[in-house]
Structure 1
Amino acid sequence: MASPTKLRSIYRSFLRELPSRPLSEKSRSPLQTRIRNTIASESATPIEQAEQFLQYVKAQRMYATLLERYNPGMNMEEEERVRLTARRVGMELPEEFVNNGPGEESGNGPKDS
């Protein structure tokens, strides 16, 4: 069995990788509770397996960080992405023409009466 110091270190490393939450018993996520119970149990998984899972969690967090950094427009709408791409190369998109239907004036702005 691994030493309590080593288990505590691994548990704290897991907590650092998870999103932060306020400090209280009720605010623990189910994942935090499961990790704590697994590490605290007498029939705990081997320390090597816990360290390997910790490395996987760290790699997943880094992957998400890099994906957001190098693909900043992946969560944007298509129109916004096109507008920002045009601005990046020094262009502005033209204003769109709005047709209000037959017999009505067309244009973007409000009618001057």
Structure 2
Amino acid sequence: MATPTKLRSIYRSFLRELPSRPLSEKSRSPLQMRIRNTIASESATPLAQAEQFLHYVKAQRMYATLLERYNPGMNMDEEERVRLTARRVGMDLPEEYEIGGTGDGSGNGSKAE
């Protein structure tokens, strides 16, 4: 059986890994409530299993952080990625112009906004 101090420590470690939320009962996520109920229940929660799951959660958070850090263009659209790639090698993309008129009959291309 795990000591209450060790279980409290594991519970707090889980809370640190989860996204922060205000401290009120209604704002607790279902995952927070499930973890709290599991640890607080009288059932013999295997301490090794809880620690292993905690290591898994920490590894997943670190993986997401590293993925975001080393693949910064992952969430960008293609146009923005191309523009930043050109800037990286010291070039600027040319300004785009619409083909056709502005509707005034002049026939000149107008600058895209």
Find the residue that maps to 1:95 and give its secondary structure.
coil
Q: Structure 1 unaligned segments of length 5 or more: list them.
A: none
> Paired residue for 1:52?
52
- What one-letter code is carried by the residue in structure 2 that aligns with 1:6? K
Counterpart for residue 92 of structure 1: 92
Which of 81, 100, 108 aligns to 2:110? It is 108
Shift of residue 104, structure 1, vs aligned partner: 5.8
Task: Say if 2:98 and 2:111, in contact at 8 Å, map to a contact too.
Answer: no
How far did 1:107 drift?
Answer: 2.0
Matched-pair contact (CA < 8 Å) for 1:38–1:44: no
Alignment partner of 1:43 is 2:70: no
Aligned residues: 109
Normalised by the size of structure 2, how large is the TM-score?
Answer: 0.90
TM superposition score normalised by structure 1: 0.90
Q: CA deviation at 1:52?
A: 0.1
8 Å Cα contact 1:96-1:108 kept in structure 2: no
User: What RMSD over aligned residues (CA atoms) do the two structures have, in Å?
Assistant: 1.6
DSSP 3-state at the match of 1:74? helix
Sequence identity percentage: 84
Q: Which amino acid aligns with 2:86?
A: A
> What SS class does the counterpart of residue 37 from structure 2 fall into?
helix
